[in-house]
Amino acid sequence: MASVAKGGPQAKAGIGAISAYVPGKSGPKTGKVYKLSSNESPFGPSPKAILAYANAAGHGLSVYPDGQAKSLREAIAQRFNLKFENIVCGGTGSDELLQLLAHAYLAKGDEAIYCQHGFLVYPIVIATNDATSVVAPEHNYKADVGEILSRVTTATKMVYLANPNNPTGTYLTIAEIKRLHQGLPSHVVLVLDGAYAEYVLADDYDAGVALVENSSNVVMTRTFSKIYGLAGVRIGWAYCPPEIADVLNRIRGPFNVSLPALAAGTAAMQDVEFIEQAVAHNAKWLPWLSAEIRKLGLVVTPSVANFVLIHFESSNKAEAADAFLTAQNIILRRVSAYGLPAALRLTVGSEEANRAVISALRDFMA
């Protein structure tokens, strides 16, 4: 529970019960560290994005940024053939947009659904707005449309769905997403969190653009923190029906994306060749890591993102593996908070990092 001075300000009921989000650890500050705990890109940002950021920082820090994020929204619209006016940008990755949606559409007495191993930010933003979280069970570490729809009530106002999901790496096909949408009442907002969408090469996957454009209650969120390598800059965006875009623009901060972030994001979005290289690297090493880990006798959940979920025989074994790897400056992500105490999440890294983690896991299992 949150500590509050006697007689001092009191936070809203329920705030003290929220479990704060804990990011992946960074490991020791000395020696070479392979940080594979936060799904960061091994390529980092595009050199063009770095240059744009530096130029903006050198010449514009005393000036307010464009409050409409026009250049960034134009770059996104052009890259994905979207409607410029339906794009809303956020200043803390896609997290701010998930929060804004909750602020706008959830209140006391409302319910919001997310899946069993869903992103930990969902229950935080739901509780912050006095709404009630409803958790839909997963099967084989994958969201289940039937389980979600069976939990819809008259109080349901929102469904958060990460597709693909973190930390499992599993996804719902576009057919399953359409079935989910068709089963929801028109007043329920379906939030398709596509933080890892750029990595997915499956033919039956779709991030949801057409659903957004052909409905009034679907929102797609995306981030620059993953494949674009701009996690430290914190930019995200949402594609919304016009009415929802209008609502989010009314309640977001007036200058919620910094000037250097706008410059970096615009340049990163335009550097298509750099992103294609990152996709190709992931397409090569994701199956290689999965196959090598399975050779060690460990179970890996099939993933379409830039990480794999490794299952050990017990939570003690996972903890021991984590300690063993950390001692060698190889940092993975414990996912106990996601209800997976016997698993570790491994980000696809550079070739050197990928080979290092397999070698270390081989030593551990031996």
Distance in angstroms (rounded) separating the CA atoms of residues 262 and 270: 12
pLDDT per residue over 24-36, tens digit each? 666 665 678 999 9
CATH number of 47-270: 3.40.640.10
CATH number of 23-45+273-365: 3.90.1150.10
> What pLDDT is recorded for position 6?
66
Residue 112, pLDDT > 60, answer yes
Q: Using the 8-state DSSP alphabet, how is residue 239 labeled?
A: E
> What pLDDT is recorded for position 1?
45
Q: Would you tell me the crossing angle of helices 121-128 and 95-105 to the nearest 10 degrees? A: 30
Average pLDDT, the chain: 95
Where, residue-wise, is CATH 3.90.1150.10 in the chain?
A: 23-45+273-365
Distance in angstroms (rounded) separating the CA atoms of residues 238 and 131: 22
Where, residue-wise, is CATH 3.40.640.10 in the chain?
A: 47-270
Q: What is the rounded average pLDDT of the residues 326-331?
A: 97
Distance in angstroms (rounded) separating the CA atoms of residues 80 and 104: 26
Distance in angstroms (rounded) separating the CA atoms of residues 332 and 289: 14
Cα 319 to Cα 273, 316, 333, 339, distances in angstroms = 39, 5, 10, 14
Cα 61 to Cα 51, 246, 247, distances in angstroms = 15, 28, 29
> What pLDDT is recorded for position 15?
74
> What pLDDT is recorded for position 66?
95
> What pLDDT is recorded for position 186?
97
Distance in angstroms (rounded) separating the CA atoms of residues 3 and 19: 14
